[in-house]
Amino acid sequence: MKLLDVNNIVLSYNSFKILDDISFDCNKDQFVSIIGPSGCGKSTLLRIIAGLEKSTSGSVKYKNKLITKPISRISFVFQSSALLPWLTNIENIKLGLSRFKMSDALKTKKAFKLLEKFQLERFADMYPNILSGGMKQRIGIARALVANPEILLMDEPFSALDELTANALRTDINYMLRQSSVSVNLVILISHNVEEVVALSDKIIILSEKPSRIKRILDVDLEYPRNKRDQKFLDYVDKIYSILMNE
Ligand code: ADP
């Protein structure tokens, strides 16, 4: 079932083209990554999909409905966790419910459930400054998940973390998002890390330098959990490097 339709997106600033005719679609139960050189417009594209920015032309549809502004069925995770330091961790997660009319007790209950999922419940009433980078990013992701979104957009969520922490978080997130108890049916991840996208994705959209066009859309046919030393895994990595660099 098709969840998201990106049609002929063009974005120009002062007649300087950044995104040039980007089209793709995403189905239910997919993990889709968008990879491309730094500055090619990946974050801009994700913001357009989220309804945070308007394209010059083209459209984005969620279940056949045009996206013109942010909607609660689509959540966004930022590169840095963007937590508010004056709010406790549970209050930060509850921010994800600020647009909803529900009792504070219910918001607390929902936020606490997510803290449990991430095994951070003992940090509920503490402030973000005592958390490690990986824990902060987990709280940021919990805030994005608390409103039960169907689509989760993630803009380089692992890139500010050291490699060991990033790896642990990738494995956790991947496992969690594939559980049926989580509302998310589609993830779109922005990345510039080739190994990361091969480890996580069902589909990889490879963008060119600016003005950014789609160079290739690649389906990844590998079982989970994926082993970075498998020859098939390495073949995908080589293929993506060669598309990024040569085509
Ligand atoms: P990426 O995420 O691939 O690194 P971005 O989406 O952040 O790339 O940016 C793409 C390009 O668009 C950059 O060259 C940036 O300078 C330009 N850009 C982004 N926002 C604006 C804006 N509001 N005005 C002018 N240029 C912008």
Tens of pLDDT along 105-125? 999 999 999 999 889 999 999
Q: Regarding predicted confidence, which is higher, 80 or 213?
A: 213
**Does the beta carbon of 13 sit less than 6 angstroms from any atom of ligand 1?**
yes
As given in the structure block, the two tokens for residue 78 are 């930022």
As given in the structure block, the two tokens for residue 80 are 């840095």
7 contacts: CB under 8 Å, gap ≥ 6:
23, 58, 59, 60, 61
Antiparallel, parallel or unpaired: β 203-207 and 30-35: parallel
**Does the beta carbon of 93 sit less than 6 angstroms from any atom of ligand 1?**
no
Neighbours of 222 (CB within 10 A): 16
Q: How far is the CA of 45 from the centre of ligand 1 (A)?
A: 10
**Does the beta carbon of 38 sit less than 6 angstroms from any atom of ligand 1?**
yes
How far apart are the C-alpha atoms of 187 and 154, rounded to whole Å?
A: 7
Phi, psi of 30 (to 5 degrees): -115, 150
**Does the beta carbon of 12 sit less than 6 angstroms from any atom of ligand 1?**
no
pTM assigned to the model: 0.93
H-state helical runs in 77-119: 89-94, 104-117
As given in the structure block, the two tokens for residue 200 are 């996580």
Longest CA–CA separation in the chain, Å? 55
- List, in sequence order, every residue forming a beta bridge with 60; answer none if it has no partner: 6
Average pLDDT over residues 213-226: 94
How far apart are the C-alpha atoms of 8 and 55, rounded to whole Å?
A: 10
Are 90 and 106 spatial neighbours (Cβ–Cβ below 8 Å)?
no
Does position 81 have pLDDT exceeding 80, yes or no? no
Does position 217 have pLDDT exceeding 70, yes or no? yes
* 10, 18, 189, best to mutate for ligand 1 pocket (most atoms within 8 Å of CB): 18
Average pLDDT over residues 214-235: 95
Is the bond preceding 225 in cis, omega lying within 30 degrees of 0? yes
- Rounded CA Rg of the chain: 18
Does position 240 have pLDDT exceeding 70, yes or no? yes
